[in-house]
């Protein structure tokens, strides 16, 4: 089905839904996305797809790399591990599993510190995740909870913790507990020199699958994971009120991952819709969760490498501008 057909079908779906009597119109947002290297934009409400657009190289069966949008899987994995009893709580100390940390300054680091990026361990170079062994060898440079440090290293440390707790591949655990029950099948997932999956980046998903994951998270895990534990993923920290446990929170005080990240806030709008949160990756990969509307928006694009090298040309991305267009029908 081509882009025009998808737009027509989506518009019909909006008209058919009683809750969308005013015909929510996502075409302006789709155009905004397409003009900025977009290859997919999908809107899901209450678990049902109500709009799809696949410009350029895009298509419903084509998977695209999520870049750092991959990170949000770790928070959900941790919530599942809490339900399974593999992890006692978010405040379990990493050194309970990483025994080599028990006699140095890292012994006070908890899983909450790791996935909120406040462990005191440096984030490391973007887009170059270390091996699990190299990650757990990193020293702490600050006290836990003191400062926010964005980067891949803490997520690789989390991967090693899950590897030890399950005595297996962390991706196998994620697949068994979350992805397979949701009929989500990644199109690819990068691995490191140690053969282990990259936990902070490298997953490839179709737009429909990424949106389905977002709906699962928005619904508190649909009974498959501990809802209370999952809720913690959407609570910020003193070091960064705008970052939870692997999810970005569009609220005052957000410390962005770096310059030119495209994270421009409209906090008034975010609050009006229940506090919008998102998974975000280089090249402006985005998965927005809009609680007040029971709405999920997945957006994918080309240009990840160019973004990491800061060589993207053309119109720049703004979360605030995109969301104003996408949610204009509900203002």
The DSSP line for 106-123 is GGG-BHHHHHTT-SSB--
Asked if 50 and 44 touch (Cβ cutoff 8 Å), the reply is: yes
For the residues 172-201, what does the mean pLDDT come to? 98
Query: Does pLDDT of 213 surpass 70?
Result: yes
Residues 47-91 have pLDDT tens digits of 999 999 999 999 999 999 999 999 999 999 999 999 999 999 999
What mean pLDDT do residues 185-213 have?
A: 98
Average the pLDDT over 86-109 and give the result: 97
Q: Would you state the pLDDT for residue 54?
A: 98
pLDDT score, position 8: 36
Is the pLDDT confidence value at 17 over 60?
A: no
Q: Where residue 7 falls among pLDDT bands split at 50, 70, 90?
A: very low
> What's the CA gap between 227 and 8, in Å, rounded?
37
The most distant pair of C-alpha atoms in the chain lies apart, rounded to whole Å, by: 62
Cβ(246)–Cβ(240) below 8 Å:
no
10 and 51 in contact (C-beta within 8 Å)?
yes
Tokens read off for 214:
């977002």
Output DSSP code: residue 131. Answer: P
Nearest of 105, 32, 109 to residue 297 by alpha carbon: 32
| Least confident range of 16-25, 85-94, 96-105, 287-296 | 16-25
215 vs 7, higher pLDDT: 215
31-60 average pLDDT score? 97
Confidence of residue 125 (pLDDT cuts 50, 70, 90): confident
Domains, the chain, in order of start with CATH, read: 3-330 (3.40.710.10)
- Is the pTM higher than 0.85? yes
Q: What angle do CA 8, 14, 20 make, to 5 degrees?
A: 155
Q: What is the pLDDT of residue 164?
A: 98
Q: Which residues contact 28 (CB under 8 A, 6 or more apart)?
A: 325, 328
Amino acid 14: pLDDT: 37
Which residue shows structure tokens 């694009």?
Answer: 301
Over residues 181-203, the mean pLDDT reads 97
**pLDDT tens digits along 218-250:** 999 999 999 999 999 999 999 999 999 999 999
Gap between the Cα atoms of 150 and 114, Å rounded: 11
Q: How far apart are CA 29 and CA 44, in angstroms?
A: 14
Question: How many angstroms separate the Cα of 119 from the Cα of each of 79, 89, 143, 150, 309?
Answer: 18, 16, 7, 11, 27
Quickly state the pLDDT bin for 260 (edges 50, 70, 90).
low
pLDDT in tens, 151-180: 999 999 999 999 999 999 999 999 999 999
Q: Count Cβ atoms below 10 Å from residue 85 Cβ, excluding itself.
A: 8
User: How far, in Å, CA of 9 to CA of 16, rounded?
Assistant: 11
Gyration radius from the chain CA atoms: 19
10 Å CB burial of residue 169 (0-12, 13-18, 19+) is: middle
> What is the rounded CA–CA span in Å between residue 159 and residue 147?
22
User: What size, in residues, is the chain?
Assistant: 331
Q: Where are the alpha helices (DSSP H) in the chain?
A: 3-16, 27-34, 72-83, 111-115, 132-136, 153-166, 170-174, 207-218, 227-231, 267-272, 304-308, 319-326
Q: Confidence class of residue 309 from pLDDT cuts 50, 70 and 90?
A: low
């Amino acid at each position: 089905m081509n882009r025009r057909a998808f737009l027509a079908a989506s518009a019909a779906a909006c008209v058919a839904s009683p809750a969308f009597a005013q015909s929510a119109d996502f075409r302006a947002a789709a155009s905004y996305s397409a003009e900025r290297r977009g290859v997919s934009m999908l809107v899901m409400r209450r678990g049902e797809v109500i709009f799809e657009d696949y410009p350029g190289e895009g298509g419903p069966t084509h998977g695209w790399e999520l870049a750092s949008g991959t990170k949000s899987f770790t928070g959900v994995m941790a919530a599942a591990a809490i339900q399974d009893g593999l992890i006692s709580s978010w405040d379990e100390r990493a050194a309970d599993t990483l025994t080599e940390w028990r006699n140095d300054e890292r012994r006070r680091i908890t899983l909450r510190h790791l996935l909120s990026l406040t462990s005191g361990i440096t984030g490391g170079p973007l887009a170059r995740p270390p091996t699990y062994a190299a990650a757990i060898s990193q020293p702490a440079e600050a006290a836990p909870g003191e400062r926010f440090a964005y980067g891949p290293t803490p997520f690789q440390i989390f991967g090693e913790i899950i590897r030890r707790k399950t005595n297996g591949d962390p991706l196998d655990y994620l697949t068994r507990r979350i992805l397979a029950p949701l009929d989500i099948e990644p199109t690819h997932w990068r691995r490191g020199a140690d053969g282990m999956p990259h936990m902070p980046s490298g997953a490839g998903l179709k737009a429909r699958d990424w949106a389905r994951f977002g709906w699962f998270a928005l619904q508190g895990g649909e009974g498959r994971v501990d809802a209370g534990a999952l809720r913690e993923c959407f609570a910020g920290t003193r070091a960064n009120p705008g970052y939870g446990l692997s999810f970005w929170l569009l609220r005052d005080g957000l410390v962005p991952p770096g310059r030119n990240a495209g994270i421009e806030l409209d906090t008034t709008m975010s609050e009006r819709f229940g506090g919008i949160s998102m998974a975000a990756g280089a090249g402006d990969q985005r998965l927005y969760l809009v609680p007040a509307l029971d709405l999920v928006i997945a957006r994918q694009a080309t240009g990840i490498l160019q973004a990491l090298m800061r060589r993207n040309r053309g119109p720049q991305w703004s979360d605030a501008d995109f969301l104003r267009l996408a949610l204009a029908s509900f203002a």
